[in-house]
Amino acid sequence: MTTLDARQQILAANQAAAQELRQRFVAQGTYVVNLISSPGSGKTTLLATLARKLGRRQRCAVVVGDIATELDADRLRAAGMPAHQIVTGGSCHLDARMVAGALDVARFGMLDLLLIENVGNLVCPANYDLGEHCKMVLLSVTEGADKPFKYPGIFSKADIAVLTKWDLRNVVPFDERAVVQQIQALRPGGRILRASSITDEGIDELCTLLEQRVGACKAAAQR
């Protein structure tokens, strides 16, 4: 068996597991977001901010993926968000079987919104379906303006792109126009939001978008 054949088998097995998860989420009316970004882009901080905003109105929980430690899950629990940590022990991404196992252990109960914080990486997580409704990619203004074209896989698959640490846009060199053009070229029609977890700029817009999608998901489940 070649390396390519082995990879195809792995992806096929993951796709089967993801489809089972998707059917489960659809039946429960739970909207699921797969958050993907490089390390340090602000995923956990953004999720803690969403916990304080959305947690009052929606039944939310987070599955967190990291190579080591439960630090992120601890931070989110402290912010009021039910969270379960997956420690991958070296794997650079989550897969559908990991998520299914985590949900069986976590027993969150009925959820309106499940957020999956993937391992910090712009490459591998883009290739693994977790049964989610949408992928959300985060790009902080501190990372520079060349990332979308350097990592087209995730930026072409993400329904929502969030430019994070927006409060720093005038402090560090950041070409917003170039970034937006690249993202629009890779994902025509995708949503591009700007957000700061420090000033709360853009957070209400993101919450509104997620709540609209939660509502549509629940309406579809009731048909």
What are the CA-CA distances from residue 19 to residues 23, 26, 162 (Å)? 6, 10, 26
75/135 Cα distance (integer angstroms): 22
Is residue 155 within 8 Å of 161, Cβ to Cβ? Answer: yes
Contacts of residue 209, defined as CB under 8 A and 6 or more positions apart, other chains included, come to 160, 191, 193
pTM higher than 0.85, yes or no? yes
At 32 the three-state DSSP class reads strand
Instruction: Going residue by residue through the chain, which has 223 residues, state the pLDDT in tens, using 9 for 90 and above.
Output: 677 666 778 889 999 999 999 999 999 999 999 999 999 999 999 999 999 999 889 999 999 999 999 999 999 999 999 999 999 998 999 999 999 999 999 999 999 999 999 999 999 999 999 999 999 999 999 998 999 999 999 999 999 999 999 999 999 999 999 999 999 999 999 999 999 999 999 999 999 999 999 999 989 888 7
Indicate the number of domains in the chain: 1
Structural domain boundaries, residue 105: 3-221
The helix (H) or strand (E) run that includes residue 137 is strand 134-140
Give the CATH number of the domain where residue 167 resides: 3.40.50.300
Can you say whether the dihedral through the CA atoms of 211, 214, 220, 223 is positive or negative?
Answer: negative
Helices (H), 107-157: 147-150, 152-157
216/204 Cα distance (integer angstroms): 18
